[in-house]
Each structure stands twice: as structure tokens, then as C-alpha cells.
Chain A
Amino acid sequence: MSQQLVHVKIIINEKAYEADIEPRLLLVHFIREIAGLTGTHVGCDTTNCGACTVILDGRAVKSCTLFAVQADGKKVLTIEGLAKDSKLHPIQEGFWVKHGLQCGYCTLGMIMAAYQLLMRNPNPTEEEIREGISGNLCRCTGYQNIIEAIKYAAEKMRGGVS
């Protein structure tokens, strides 16, 4: 069952990770186990939960539903790449200020989904936010504070502060 190894180079958070991998290796396992970036989580095996959401070449993707070879030569942004100069990104800050997380397991996926949403739509309505994170399941918060967190971030980002 072992397959021939393929050499890949994936840029994660502006750093190149090279490895010889099986073509069947899921991107999420590349990120977690080869790059060692364990902020990205696995919550299901049917592509429903979104706990593995990362930004791949500018698009939010569920990294459990891509093979790592599909990301060869591409750029990935994970939760670990969001904070700059030891300052929280406004979305991270929003989640903190508005209590948008509890167990923290869905948080990274929520934040990456929100990141894409706010890139495309800097001033989303509540309905658009709910729609924008509907690929991400949370079992702790009931979503309301997550929505508040994203609104907070949107406002802060529109203000040009980062």
C-alpha cells in the first residue's frame, strides 16, 4: 500500500518546508506532522467541521480534503502565521476581546474562515458573517460571540490598524 514518494515544497507562513511524501498524505497532516504546526486541527473525517481550515494561495480551504502534493509550490497561511511582531492580528484580538472561543479547538479554523471573509468583504452584515463561517463548526460558543469577534475585527481592519 505504500506508494512512491514525491518531493514537495510548500511555503507555510513564508517558510519553505520540503519533504518526500506519499501522494496520499493529507495537507493537514503535512502541516501538523511535517511542518510541526499543530495549531491546525482535525475535527472530523467527512469535511464538515472546518477545524483544519487554512488559507491556500488566498483561498480558505479545508486542509483535510486536499493532498499535500496538491499544495506543492503553493503558499499556505496557518494560524501560526497570523500574528505579526508579537502582536495579535485584529481577528485574533476580536476573538479574545469578545470571548469568541472556549475550548479553542475550532478557533483557528474560524479565524482563517473569517480572514478570507474579511479579505473579500471588509464590512459584512451579520447574515454574511454567519454564512461566511458556516463551513466551520463550533460546539462551545453558540457562534454569537464569534460573530461579535468578526465584527470587531472588521471594524478595526477597516480603520487601517493591523
Chain B
Amino acid sequence: MTVEITEEPKGVHGMGHKIRRKEDIRFLLGKGNYVDDIKLPGMVYLAFVRSPYAHAKIKSINVEKAKTLPGVIDIITGKELEKVGLAWIPTLMGDKMMVLPTDKVVYQGQEVVAVIAEDRYKAYDAASLIEVEYEPLEPVTDPKKALEQSSPIVRPDKNTNLVFKWEAGNKEETDKLFKEADVVVSQGFYYQRLHVAYMEPVGSIAHYDPVSGKLTIWMTSQAPHVVRTVFSLVTKIPENKIRIISPDIGGGFGGKVYVYPGYVVSAHASIKLGRPVKWIATRSEDMRSTAFARDYHIHGEIAAKKDGTILALRIKVISDHGAFFGDANPSKFSAGLFSICTGSYDIKAAHVEVVGAHTNKPPGGIAYRCSFRVTEAAYAIERLVDILAHELGMDPAELRLKNFIPPEKFPYKSALGWTYDSGNYAAALKKAMDKIGYWELRKEQEEKRKRGELMGIGISSFTEIVGAGPADLFDIVGIKMFESAEIRIHPTGKVIARFGTRAQGQGHETTYAQIISEILGIPVEDIIIEEGDTDTCPYGLGTYASRSTPTAGAAAAVSAKKILDKAKKIAAHLLEAREEDIVYEKGRFYVKGSPDKFKTIQDVALAAYTNPPPGIEAGLEAITYYNPPNMTFPFGSYICVVDIDKGTGQIKVRKFVAVDDCGNIINPVIVDGQIMGALTMSFGTAFLEEIRYDENGNIYGGSFAEYMIPTAIETPKWELDKTITPSPHHPLGAKGVDESATVGSPAAFVNAVVDALWHLGVRHIDMPLWPWKIWQILKEKGAVSDE
């Protein structure tokens, strides 16, 4: 079967259509426009000297040799930035971070000195000639030890390593239920430090025009508008003289929400030199200094009755934030949305407490499709529920079905205060069980166990919380987390629509066009979507935490409806009828009762410019800043089957079924692509990926030689399915989905592996589940096979 496809299918393709992506053609031809592809006249290159120490005083910096190297233009230190007030800048969480250090370094790989040279080779040559004399200080790498009185202090400007203490829930009620419970399960989990490892490292090109006083920065940013505001506040350059452009971005996954020293130094250097300055991190530099993810030391407890009814949940976390509290969180949420940790279950009371610590590591924490710590929350509850089932001798699926929030209880107010919009959890789990043949697998497992073979089945039934968010709760540096969409119809019926979000591969150029096409009946190929240029796009908070569909998707729908309202008035004028008598259907307007005599949306668009009705403004366009009334709560059930080799500890994921529910779907192909990508990332999380530091603060996992992300060989085949439970408050009934699988699937993998080993007395194993780790456990339990 061959399908001759030479061009994009034409026509009106609204919600639910599996159309091919509009953005693909340029990528397929090598004509994408990523930051490092951009070349400007007179452009120079920036490279950093980075710290070999995790914690050390800077005694001296000698730049003499580097300065005389041909091609070197400038060398910038922290002392120079201090003079212009840029040695430190504010973080998204109200802390501050070093751009370049003046007195001491606080993590290995930290930027210490910047070199500007004619090309990138010369910049690195010069960097290698700069001599920095350090006096090593005792590093702090364990967040628990960091919080002890005797610990060395990471920050020169603070006298404590305590970042924050945050709690939620009713402690008294929770403690009471724990006392009354028949069963209490308690378990420690370490959710290891990860890096998103987008394929394109971070970078920027700053270009200051001394004549106009305008600073333009091309930047790998998921949130260009917020960056513009922050840059303006920090540099005092008026906001209308700063233009941030996020061109095509080679993956973000949360790691490109942050402001990095390279962006700031390239801007400073361009202002100083009057030339464009390009900074592109190498992979190893990126892994060592940009935002990490996770690093949560969780202690969880769950209380239940003998029959498996869950009563209460109690969780304590020590979180490692590195040297600066820079988590890309909404400002009121130090621990993100970790309080979604009661999950999919009807739990009477809960209490959570998170204590943050500074260590000699780079900052970050919120990244890697985490939806603001929902990954950690879902992992904790889904592991605890699984352990509870095993402790009670109940089937993990049955325990979940018994405790799910039932469909009729939505909107459901959780014990920790979130109002879940909609859900049918049992339907998703049952669908996954049917698809994978759950009960047959349990039978097979029983038989295999008799033969001494190790097979495990892991379930995770998660609830996400995405679409930040309602203005009363959510802001980034004070800016409410609304989202925007501006749609302009041209006289000939073509459309340009601009958004405040910024895709990094999620397909907005296609899916936003589908939303507009759905409502206005204009063909997708007639709609151009633009994002990422702060001079032209309406202000928005950017793309992360699966917020684009819930917020910008809604804004697009509202803007399109505003246009439709005006279009109806114009159509009435053209058809010489009353507005109330106009019927609208898929791009056509007609007078009630005579559908043959119609005006198309294109006719109306032309009339809006050539023949506007009296009293109505010419043109046909609308803009919306959408303040979501609530978050959206997509959910799903994942089931994983693993076989474990008793000789090597090697785990094979034999089968993985993912049933997701993100409400109404804009483009099923794109949704599936996101789920498969996120499942693969979580497969990496569960089995391969970790960034670790030794006691001297040396990084392990700081390059692709050590930080293993899955290749096509390791990656299992994913089997996907859906249920559809629309969000009642969203104009399209759509929920976010991009991060559901990273939130939901790690627990499924670990649950499967522990399920395979439970009968040997294994309750928990921390990720990543490397074969040697499993082999050691098997050896300890006397279960290693010599065959």
C-alpha cells in the first residue's frame, strides 16, 4: 500500500482531525531556524570558564594570557557585572542567583569568567588560558545534612541552608485517622535528580542597537514575554526596547523556562561592545549548569482499613534546590503543586510538608514534564497505594477501583484543596486492564513464580493538574498566569493568529489552527500561527506544565467566538436580515429557513473591510487574555509488564498499555506523539537516567557519555488508548496532556519491578533500576541464577 502524498491535505480541519503538521516541512528540509542557525553581521562568540570545584573561594583571576590571544575581544568577570548591578539577578521564586561570581563559586560547572572572541574556537582557546586561583571550601551535597546546624553554608548572602518550609492539609485530622487505621504503610522514596536533556542545548544571541537603544535577544526560551519583563526590570531598559525572540526550539521540557547566566552575559556584552554576541552551551556545559529536575527525598505514609479503604495520607519531603532557589514555579507554590498527591483517590484527610535545602549544586527542580512537582506527587501516591495493596494481599487494581473518586463526585474537592474538574478513573483502568489482558497476566505470573521466574505487573492510575492558572492563585513574578490569543482575518479570508505561548515541538502551529478552523470554518492551510516574538505576539506566560491547550487553546476559542459574533452582524447586513435570524454552520451564514442563500466567512471577511455595516468598526479581528476558572485534571491508567533476568538483573518491559484521558482531543496524532515521547522519557527515568554528585560535589551524569537517555533499541513499544471525559469549564472541553505520561508512568515501571520481587521480600527500589542494582538485590535475596 503506497499513499501518494505530495502536499498537505486541504480543507477545514477542526477538532479531532489527524492532520499532518504544518511546521514539519521546514524541519524536514533542514530549514528550521534554531538559535545557533542565526548569523548576524559582526557577530562574536561567548564562552565561559567554569568552576572545577563545587564550593570554593575565588582568590584571583588572571586573564593576561587570554587577553593577548589574537581574536579575543573582551573578558568579563563578576566584578565587572557587579558595577552594572548584574552580578546577581532575581530568580522566579523571589530568591536571587549569581550571573558571575565575585567571591566564591557554589557548584561545579558554574560560570566564572566570560570570554568574547571572533569565533567559538578562539573563545574556548582563550577560556582555557584564564587562570583562576581557588581556595576549596567544604561542599554541601546531601540536603539532609545541609539542614543540620553544623553544616557549611552554601550561600554567601544567607546564614542558613534552609530554603523554605511549606505545608498543606489538616494535620490534626490526618494524625487522628492514622491512629484509628487498621493498617499503616510507610516508605521512603528518593526521586532522583534528572536532566531533561532536550536535544538542542541552551543558547542566545544578543544584539544591542546603539542607535535605537533596542536590545534584541534570540533565545531558547519557553516563556519569552516573562523574560522580557524580567530583563527590563533588571537592566532598567524600557520594556518596549527589549525584544525577545524564541525561534524554533529543539525541545524544552521545562528546562528552557529559566533565565541562565549566558543570556544575561551575552546581553551585557552586546550592549558593551555594540556587536551581536552569540552564546551556545555545549552539551556537557548544559548538563552541568542548567535546570535539573526532581531530587525529592520523600517519606510517605498511608493509612487504611483492613478492607482496603484508604483513610489518610501523610508525606514529608526534603527537597534539594542547589545553590539558588530558582524553581520555575508559580510564586505562591514553593513546592509546586505537590499537594495533588492524594491522587485519584477519595481520601478523607491528608497532610504534606516540604522542606527545601540549599546544596552545592546547580539550581532548578521544576523541569522535565513535571507540571510543577506533579511527577513527584503521583509517584509517591502510586507507589504507596501499590505497597498497601501488597501488604494487604489485595490485587493492586482492585484496591485502586475500591478507592477511586467516583465519576458522580466531580467536581471533587480534594483533602488538600484542589477542585478536580472531571474524571472517570475506573473506566480508564478497566480499559487498560482489558487491553493488556490483566487477569490472564496475573495467572501467568502465578505460574511463572512457581517455576522461579520473575515477572511483574505494575499499575499507575494518576491524576494530573495542568493549565496554570486562575489569577487568584497563580502568578509568575507577580504576573497572573493568563494566556492570550490574537486572531486577525485578512480581507481575502486568510488568517494570522499570534499567541503568548511558545511551542518547542508540541505542534501549536497545527493544533491552534485546528481550533480556529473548528470555530470559524476557515481551512487550516489558510491560518498561520505565530509565537515567540515579544514585539508581535500578545503577552503570555509561555509554554510549560502542559498549560498551552488549557489556557491558550481556550483563548483561541474565545477570540474566534468574538470574531464570529461580529461576523454574524456583518452577515446579517449582507443578507439584509436581522442578526437573530442568522444561522451559522461551519463557515457559512444564512437566513433561517433558506440555507441555499448564504455568505461564507470569506465573504464576510471581505465585507468587513469593503462594506462594513453602519455603526460597526471595519476589520475582523479579536484578542483575548484568558483567565482560566480552574485547572484541568487529565488522568489515565498505565499498566506495565516486566520480565527480570535472574542471571543479570536485566529488566525487560514486555508490554506497556497507556490509557489517557485529556478530554476532547484537538489532534489525536499529536496527542499520541506527546504521550509516546513522555513515556520514553519516563522509561529513561525509571531505568537509565540519573545525575549524581559525590561528596566533593563532583558531578556524575554531566554528559551524554554518562547520562543515558533511551535509544530506539531500549525503548519499548507503546500501546495507547483513550477515554474521553471533557473538562466542563474549558471552552473546547480540552485538557492538557503533554506531561501526563511523565507524571503517570514512572510508578508503573517501578510498581512492576517491585511486584516481580515482592515475594522475595522487596518493598521498594529507588530509580534508576539499573541491572546491577537489581542483580545486587537478587544476590542478597539468594535469587541470582547462575545459568
| Contacts A44-B703, A139-B253; A105 near B712 (Cβ below 8 A) | no
Q: Is B374 an interface residue (CB 8 A)?
A: no
User: Which B residues lie within 8 Å of A83 (CB)?
Assistant: 28-29
Pair B20/A79 contact, Cβ less than 8 Å: no
Contact B199 A141 (CB under 8 A): no
Q: Tell me if A42 is interfacial: C-beta within 8 Å of chain B.
A: yes
Q: How near does chain A come to B71, taking the closest CB pair, in angstroms? A: 8
A77 to B718, CA, bound (A): 33
Q: Does B150 contact A (CB under 8 A)?
A: no
> Does B610 touch A at the CB level, under 8 Å?
no
Chain A CB within 8 A of B37 CB: yes
Any chain B CB within 8 A of the CB of A16?
A: no
Q: Are B28 and A95 in contact (CB under 8 A)?
A: yes
Q: Name the residue on B nearest A161 (C-beta).
A: B2
Which B residues between 179 and 208 are near A, CB-CB below 8 angstroms? Answer: 196-201
Cβ contact within 8 Å between A106 and B199: yes
- Decide: B505 and A38 in contact? CB cutoff 8 A: no
A137 → chain B closest CB, angstroms? 6
Say whether B679 faces chain A, with CB atoms less than 8 Å apart: yes
Contact of B21 among A44, A48, A88, A96 (CB under 8 A): A96
Instruction: Fill in one digit per residue for B1-31: 1 if any A CB lies within 8 Å of its CB, else 0.
Output: 1111110000000000000110111111111
How many residues of B are counted as interface, with CB atoms below 8 angstroms from the partner's CB atoms? Answer: 69
Contacting pair B34 A105 (CB below 8 A)? yes
Residue of A nearest to B682 (CB): A142
Proximity string of chain B (499-526) to chain A, C-beta cutoff 8 Å, 1 when within and 0 when not: 0000011110000000000000000000
Give the Cβ gap from A8 to chain B, nearest Cβ, in Å: 16
Closest to B71 in A: A2
| Closest residue on chain B to residue A138 by CB atoms | B199
Chain B residue with minimal CB distance to A106?
A: B199
Specify the chain B residue showing the minimal Cβ separation from A156: B2
Q: Which residues of B contact A107 (CB under 8 A)?
A: 27-28
- Scoring B residues 698 to 739 as 1 if CB is less than 8 Å from chain A, else 0, what string do you get? 000001110001011101011000000000000000000000
C-alpha gap A106/B113 in the complex (Å): 31
A22 touches B121 (CB 8 A): yes
Instruction: Knowing A145-B673, A146-B712, say if A44 contacts B505 (CB, 8 Å).
Output: no
Residues 71 to 97 of chain B near chain A (Cβ within 8 Å): 71
Contact flag A103-B198 (CB < 8 Å), given A43-B283, A92-B29, A144-B717: yes
A129 contacts chain B at the CB level, 8 A cutoff: yes
CB neighbours of B709 from chain A (8 A): 137, 139
For residues 640 through 688 of chain B, which have their beta carbon under 8 Å from a beta carbon of chain A?
A: 669-670, 672-674, 676-681
Q: Does A118 contact B (CB under 8 A)?
A: no
Known: A79-B28, A105-B199. 12 other contacts (CB 8 A): A32-B37, A39-B29, A44-B284, A96-B20, A99-B669, A102-B505, A104-B250, A139-B253, A140-B677, A141-B680, A145-B676, A161-B4
25 A-B contacts (beta carbon < 8 Å) = A32-B37, A33-B39, A42-B201, A43-B250, A45-B282, A45-B703, A48-B705, A80-B29, A92-B28, A99-B21, A102-B677, A103-B252, A104-B505, A105-B34, A105-B200, A107-B28, A138-B199, A139-B196, A139-B677, A139-B709, A141-B677, A142-B678, A142-B715, A146-B712, A155-B2
The 10 A-B pairs of least Cβ separation, nearest first, read A39-B30, A103-B505, A104-B27, A105-B250, A142-B676, A142-B680, A102-B505, A79-B30, A38-B37, A48-B704
* Chain B interface residues toward A at CB < 8 A: 1-6, 20-21, 23-32, 34, 36-37, 39, 69-71, 120-122, 125, 196-201, 248-253, 282-284, 504-507, 669-670, 672-674, 676-681, 703-705, 709, 711-713, 715, 717-718
